[in-house]
Structure 1
Amino acid sequence: MLHASDEPQTTDLPISTITAPLIEAALARVLSSRSLRGSARGRRFLQFVVQEALAGRANRIKAYTIAIDVFDRDASFDPLLDPVVRIQAGRLRRALEHYYLTEGAADSLRIAIPKGGYVPQFSLVPVTAGSDLPNDVSGPAPEPARVELDPPRAPLFLRRLADRPLRWLAVAAMVTLLAVVGLALFGGWRGVAPVPTKGALERATAPAMTQRAVRGPALLVLPFTNGSGDPTLDLVADGITEDLVAALIRFEDFLVFGADTSFRYPSAPALRDAVPATRVDYMLKGSVAQTGDYIQVTATLIAAKDHRYLWSDSFRRAVTPANLLDLRHDIAVQVARTLAQSDGVIEREEARLNGQHAPQDLSSYACLLRTRQYWRQLSVALHAEVRDCLERVTRSDPGYPEAWAALAMITIDEARLGFNPSPARPDPIDDGLQLAEHAVTLAPDSALSYQALGLALWLSREPQRSIAAYERALALNPNDSAILADLGRCYSLTGEWERGIPLIREAFTRNPAQPSWYRIVIATHHYMNGRYDDALEEMRRANLGREVILGHVALAMIHGQTGNRTEAAKAVSEILRLDPNFAVKAISEFERRNIHPDIIVRIVDGLRKAGLAIPPSQMANGAGL
């Protein structure tokens, strides 16, 4: 039986119009999309669950059967010990959301994998002329037919060539590249089609492609070369080039020329000769080679102005017909994160180039770089500097959405961290929410805009809408470790530790320069489980400054439980130095951060044992303290 979405339908058409042929067509579009082209596992996962649903076997769609039929696990598979299905399901949900935000925005039938299970759901959205709905939508729906989709494994002819690595590699590359749609992203076009919203997540309207000015540097990915000289690797090198462009384009701070531009103008001089006004700041080049069953990809970042080599690395992986797409995608994502994420190679080089400018002379992009430095350091003085800088930028460059998003988060920190409160802003959280909504309106394709909206909604006591905003941000840029950490914080503090802590740990794995205050959440997780030594070690690794009151709160509650009165008294003294009234408002402060009541009870118990005189009170949900 086919299952329509439990959510209210967004069309007046009867549910009976959701037929097997429509689902097949919708599935084919998603499988051939850019959103899933880099994930062979994701495509196999989606294909399997949709096929099972169409065959009337929805009750068979469980973690165990998915692990065996899709991921080649054996009968001893235990989902509690091996999280492969849960992890891949999360990635697939984000890929589907990204697809329907961008290239699939006009699709009339949507496929979703609701959280809490793996059975797909199908829903209709308003359709326009030219849609693929049948002309006769009023008649009875045909019985769902079993659709014989391709099995989730390598095609037979590729498996037969498995003992001849170069030949099957070329064939596999040709098959995958024939399915790839080129990215026409030359100039200032962004890689994600915007979905305009007005003030809230649920009021999304139809998407419309817009042109975005880019204030940061420009990066040209040169076509990767075949380092072995064997022509069978040419298509693999081209595929790596396209995967790198697709991964880098997710980051909004700089312009990445599209793959079409890379192949048409395979050098910066060639591009400048064709388009003289074009600026190229960085070039990424590389090569692909193969030795036996191993493939090696070498990548190098070069400063275009003086041809300095800024970074280079090699990646050697065992390759098979089944893992070629995943291998390409994983290498591309690793390179993109190294170069483009916060405190990555490009940001550090840009910060060096702008480091000698006075704050009032910083460009729009340089101001955003300084803001990222503040997020890593959380300094009162730096907060004031970047707030002034961002306010100037939003006046002089009002079309810069990332500046509005950053200003939203800086404004919220006046209340969240108590940094530089302004009499002109009696309610910085509400002001921050308005700034974040404005950023989303300016750039609905901006992950930073939704990240700011997530923070504003979190402090506005709307945790579920906050999580939805962070999920949207992660769908727009799944490679951003800061968004991953924020989402992990939300899940953790609302009590979903098993979802939140792995996200924060993964964020630190991806980016060791991740702001260290996220370690407070990990320390709290240890604290809740009685692992006080582990909690203290996490706080030592956080290495927070004296101005972050939550760091002292965490230390006080831990030392309170361990009975270390000297260190507990020091932590309490620091809390009261920063906020003499903190004891009176402690519970409301924790509630304002949407911390689960059970967690608040344990935190307050530790603080009282540390000597912080928190008065008896009643929490909003009635739990006594």
Structure 2
Amino acid sequence: MSEKSLQGVDIGATALEAAVDKILSSPVFAKSPRQQDLLRYLVTETINGNAARLKGYSIAVEVFGRSADFDPAEDAIVRVEMGRLRSKLREYYQTDGAGDDIVLDVPKGHYAVTSWSRASNVAESIQALSAHPRIREAESKPSLAVLPLINLSPDVCPDYFVDGITDTLIFELSRLSGLIVISRQSSFTYRSTQLPSAAIGEALGVRYLIEGSVQCCDGRVRTTIKLVEASSGIHLWSERFERGKDNLFELQDALALSIAKALQVKLVGSEAALFGNEETNNIEAYDELLHGLECHWKYSPSAVAEARAHFQHAADLDPTYAAAHAWLARALLFQWVMRWDADPALRDQAFEHARLAVSLNRKSPYVLAIMGWAHLWCKHREEAIATCREAVALDPNNFEALLFLSMSLSSAGFGEEALYYIEKARRLNPHSSPFYEFVLGQAYYVLEDYDKAIAAFQRGTELNQTFPPNYVYLSTTYALLGMDELAAKYRKLYYAIMGGDKTRMIVPPWTHAKLEADYRHLLQLAGFDPRYCEVSGTSAP
């Protein structure tokens, strides 16, 4: 058998799935549920283009139900079960599968599945199937993207109000364990798009799209929602909803529940109780929050300052509004970390607002994610990781909670686990962002995979030429590798972004003593003055 990539020979996803089904139903595998689950998982992840994230940690957590603190040095389950799987595959192809055309293998030292056809005598990594239109069909959960709802009455209803309804739909649907929901960041790239549904579905890797419109008239909000099969563009379900503006929260619950029902998603555990528990009854406070979000997503110093003012006003209008305090905490932290406002009191103010938000609503995954984020910048290593884990457990579809958890882990020196979560976030946000690339780059940096770290930071600069962290980390990583000219290039670009002010150094997130010491040394090597990013931690509560 000649080992080469099958560029011209396509086994095909259908034939491959049939081969897997035959293996798993054979007498060799019939009484081995662990090996059945393991093989199905490895094949699915490889087909879906996720071979790079197949690590012992991810397999232990997702296949064998190990907890998030799994340590392969203490628990050999993955190594043991992989050995058993390879033995069973050999046994199968010596008995029931002796005449099979398609042969699957998991080479020792690897987790990605390879396949070859006896008829063509050619080997193929089934990663080649990742570009196949059926890439996501192996997922058992319905996957969807909520596209921005169309504002049919912009003269009466501001766009941020309609965007808020879209945001709420994404948020409420993402908390349902029976769904995979694409993040706002990727969904909103298709605002006013003319692309066909098939192209959008393929780009986002989803089966379904939610489309619709909002019209405001005489104090009423009318919303039409459509469930679309992405591949065909067929409208599978549509419904019109109308409520008074004072009953907006009831309208949003009705939209989410109707979509879940149309998709035949069963609410498990306490999920039914998630609806009807709005954090505020104050429509004016809610409107201020939405206005703040419109500003926040622009990610500029002036826009974030304006967002902060709106979030503060929302919290003033309703002091018990947990989301207002959480978003205010985020805006304050963003200004402080980016050095748009160097007031040292900002971090402490942000922490207090985050803590107040948690006291008001600990069941909100977003509130918990922001609390974990605040812990990170206060150098509360264990609290940051634990709180972000809690947020992800409540909402595995929460893209930002996964980002915050990954960064908390890499900042503490847990590179492999950080990489696991940041790559998991990619499924929910196919369209990358400079912040995503930064967090990915940091995970690779901690793992000492500097080429991949540089590639991620570089992609971040290409996505946004004014996002400072990627420039600093490019400069320091090049300095680490002795590439002084490139280190100097990105240092100068960073200073240009900061208006030439060499005292405005972004705050580093490290909670691991050696990583922090190494980073300070690299700042010096790269030509920065590390004194300007000195930040002391605070005692954990």
Please, what TM-score do these two structures have when normalized by structure 2? 0.49
Please, what TM-score do these two structures have when normalized by structure 1? 0.43
Q: Determine which structure has more spread, i.e. the larger CA radius of gyration.
A: 1
